[in-house]
A and B are shown apart, each in its own frame.
Chain A
Amino acid sequence: MNFYKSLDSDTKPIIIALGFVIMILIVGTIYTLSTQGTAPLLRPSYVLQQLQVGSFLGIVAAGMMMVILLGHIDLSVPWTLTAAAMMATTVGGPMAIPTGIAVGLAVGLFNGLGVAYLRVPSMIFTLGVDQVMRGLMVAHTGGYAPDTDATPLMRFLAAEKIAGVPVAIFVWIAVSLVIALILQRTGFGRSVYATGNREAAAYLSGIRTKRVIIGSFMLSGACAGIAGVLLAGYSSQAYQGMGNPYLLPAIAAVVLGGTRILGGRGRYLGTVVGVILIVLLNSVLSIMQMPEAGRQIIYGSVIIGMLLVYGRNQAVTS
């Protein structure tokens, strides 16, 4: 108990989330042992396969965390991801992956300009940008899945394995290292926390908050772009609405990892744990062959339950 008390308030949620991960593993294993007599959740190959699918979510969540730390949010992720994937497959060849990431960076830049200079709330501005990207892609493809294919390199990064470990996981680790380094070791990272805590104070202390906002949105866009390129490689082509299932789980993963939705607090490790938690929860529910109705209810209840344990705000008393 003393150990628990000695933890700082940024680490506590991560420990609890980790506890939830272990609990889900135990419950899932007991379930599979009693019904099928096997324990797939403890088999490394199964876990790696789940993490391979989870790495797309992990990369999106890494970018999302950058903007949530500012107290903003990036709702343009779904169609940024889709646009990056579609552009990458359209261009093809060696320029496919740079094109996808460039699309993400460009959308991020646009988001950042709107939020930092026009001061439009990010929630609504990125929503509009999402719709614009969707419109552009519908106009570009005519509303159908484009019949262009992913390049071999994209397929290698998303679907192949090195020494039994999916390459996608290595990409996730690489993105994670970059984001964690930025947040902890660079001035930009410190400015992100400062701006997220109180933008006016950060501005008065000489931080160029507009650049910080733009930079964070560009990182978020780039991450969505990378995820889009990978996802296109994984399913060997891009398709309409491929980014939609990633928006809300990414936000949930970031928040479950202990990042404050109002910005200014949170560690990157927590986001990783949050992603693992959501991926595991999903795979246990699908092992149980839970119908979609029960799945959604459990999904929502788990998020509420966990936040009740550690995500509570201070009551306003002054």
Chain B
Amino acid sequence: MIERFKYSLRQNRGFYGALLGLIVLYLLYNSLHPRGFSTAVLIQNANEAVVLAFVAVAQTIPVLIGGLDLSVGAVMTLASCIASVLVTGSPAEMTLGIILSVLAGTMFGLLNGLVVVYGRIQPIIATLATGAIAIGLALFVRPQPGGDIDGDLNWAITNAVFDFAETYGFADDGNAAWLQPIAWIPVPLIILTAVMLLVWVPYRRSVTGRTAYAIGSAEGAAYMSGLPIARAKIMAFTLAGFFAGCAGLYLAIQTSSGNADVVQAGEYTLKSIAAVVIGGTSLLGGVGTAVGSIFGAFIIRIIEFFFRINIGSFSIDPLLQTLFQGVVLLVAVSLGSLRLTRIKNRLDVFR
């Protein structure tokens, strides 16, 4: 048991490092915050972190196959614009709108996959171009920012389980005894966990998922072993589109609107890469997990939260926020170069 844990620790240094960093940072944040360790703070933080977490998961899968998806932010924007138009009206209409917006993201991911596999274009440059197309479509759907997403849905999704039950009137409006142990949990975290359990875990264990890791490690070897290369690559980009679609849907519901914002899309894409790396996934492919990327996304957000704390002597000049984030990112990724100290053959440096 301990041996297995030690092995896992050696294999996933980045992942456990991110987990440790997340726990330390979040405890520190809450102890500095005047209302630390309260549900209100947790809900607010979860709401601000979950979109980036979804985008980071989306980015992870193409990175695992040794590619990169520069369109995740744009696909997220597209999905959020579609959601801001469709998620309104009767419950049935809203459900359909939710399905359609995630489906739009998924379809766009599939398009990316087809271009990469059958067009044989490098993922980074192909998604750079399709990202522009996604932004164009988003602008087409929503030329002006706006939208009228159902207020109840917004309230229910962006608060604790208690508020969710109260809004939709089940479990005695959230007062039932059996609900109390979980009533404080923010709904966004539940959504994130549910999507990961329903999509990522089965994917990770499927042949397609394992093939993605194999492609990232050694594509030639994966091909020679008869693994379904084309299918795995298409699936990787399709899933990236799916998770980016989830991010967009949540963003739209959270802000009750859609906005085809090019700058925001670019920022999410770049932060997703940072989150993936901080979460212990190798940009060379083959190593890492989507759960690590979620931790990476949370870490990025928590660092941002620190700049809002303002008690007595402890406060940071908001003007220094960007600089501080950049330095933290640089230090975090430079920690990865510790591997150089373990290299025995000088040629292994070039891997």
Q: A residues engaging B (CB < 8 A)?
A: 73, 75, 114, 117-121, 123-125, 127-136, 138-139, 142-143, 199-200, 203-204, 244, 248, 251-252, 255, 261-262, 291-301, 303-304, 307-308, 311-318
Among candidates B137, B138, B350, residue contacting A203 with C-beta atoms closer than 8 Å? B350
Known: A244-B263, A296-B136; 6 extra A-B contacts, CB below 8 A, are A131-B322, A135-B323, A135-B327, A136-B323, A296-B139, A304-B130
Q: Is B90 engaged at the interface, CB distance under 8 Å to the other chain?
A: no
| Cβ contact within 8 Å between A124 and B274 | yes
Q: B residues engaging A (CB < 8 A)?
A: 68, 115, 119-122, 124-126, 128-133, 135-140, 143, 219-220, 223-224, 229, 260, 263, 266, 270, 273-274, 277, 283-284, 319-327, 329-330, 333-334, 336-337, 340, 347, 349-350
Among candidates B121, B273, B325, residue contacting A304 with C-beta atoms closer than 8 Å? B121
How distant is the Cα of A261 from the Cα of B274 in the complex, in angstroms?
21
- Give the residue name and chain of the B residue nearest to A122 (CB): B283
How distant is the Cα of A134 from the Cα of B333 in the complex, in angstroms?
18
For B128, the chain A residues whose CB sits under 8 A away are: 248, 251-252, 303
For A120, the chain B residues whose CB sits under 8 A away are: 333-334, 336-337
| Cβ contact within 8 Å between B135 and A123 | no
| Cβ contact within 8 Å between B120 and A312 | yes
Most chain-B Cβ atoms within 10 A of its Cβ — which of A131, A311, A312? A131
| Cβ contact within 8 Å between A313 and B122 | yes
Among candidates A119, A244, A304, A312, residue contacting B337 with C-beta atoms closer than 8 Å? A119
- Known A118-B337, A251-B125; judge A131-B224 contact (CB<8 A): no
| Cβ contact within 8 Å between A135 and B125 | no
For A204, the chain B residues whose CB sits under 8 A away are: 347
| Cβ contact within 8 Å between A308 and B135 | no
For A131, the chain B residues whose CB sits under 8 A away are: 322-323, 325-326, 329
| Cβ contact within 8 Å between A300 and B283 | no
Among candidates A134, A299, A311, residue contacting B132 with C-beta atoms closer than 8 Å? A299
How distant is the Cα of A295 from the Cα of B260 in the complex, in angstroms?
14
| Cβ contact within 8 Å between A119 and B349 | yes
Report B127 CB to chain A, min CB distance, Å: 10
- Give the residue name and chain of the B residue nearest to A203 (CB): B350
| Cβ contact within 8 Å between A132 and B326 | yes
| Cβ contact within 8 Å between B220 and A304 | no
Among candidates B136, B219, B283, B347, residue contacting A294 with C-beta atoms closer than 8 Å? B136
- Give the residue name and chain of the B residue nearest to A311 (CB): B121
Chain A interface mostly: helix
| Cβ contact within 8 Å between A262 and B122 | yes
How distant is the Cα of A116 from the Cα of B167 in the complex, in angstroms?
56
- Known A296-B132, A297-B132; judge A125-B330 contact (CB<8 A): yes
Report A241 CB to chain B, min CB distance, Å: 8
Report A126 CB to chain B, min CB distance, Å: 10
Closest 8 CB pairs of A and B: A135-B323, A131-B326, A296-B136, A300-B132, A297-B136, A132-B326, A293-B139, A135-B322
For B126, the chain A residues whose CB sits under 8 A away are: 304, 307
How distant is the Cα of A114 from the Cα of B336 in the complex, in angstroms?
11
Among candidates A136, A307, A316, residue contacting B219 with C-beta atoms closer than 8 Å? A316
How distant is the Cα of A125 from the Cα of B334 in the complex, in angstroms?
8
Report B95 CB to chain A, min CB distance, Å: 28
For A312, the chain B residues whose CB sits under 8 A away are: 119-121
For B219, the chain A residues whose CB sits under 8 A away are: 316
For B129, the chain A residues whose CB sits under 8 A away are: 252, 299-301, 303-304, 307
Report B272 CB to chain A, min CB distance, Å: 11
Report A188 CB to chain B, min CB distance, Å: 19
| Cβ contact within 8 Å between A124 and B277 | yes
Among candidates B119, B122, B260, B270, residue contacting A261 with C-beta atoms closer than 8 Å? B122
- Give the residue name and chain of the A residue nearest to B338 (CB): A118
For B330, the chain A residues whose CB sits under 8 A away are: 114, 125, 128-129, 132
Report A107 CB to chain B, min CB distance, Å: 12
For B350, the chain A residues whose CB sits under 8 A away are: 199-200, 203
For A135, the chain B residues whose CB sits under 8 A away are: 320-327
For A125, the chain B residues whose CB sits under 8 A away are: 330, 333-334
Report B34 CB to chain A, min CB distance, Å: 26
How distant is the Cα of A119 from the Cα of B322 in the complex, in angstroms?
24
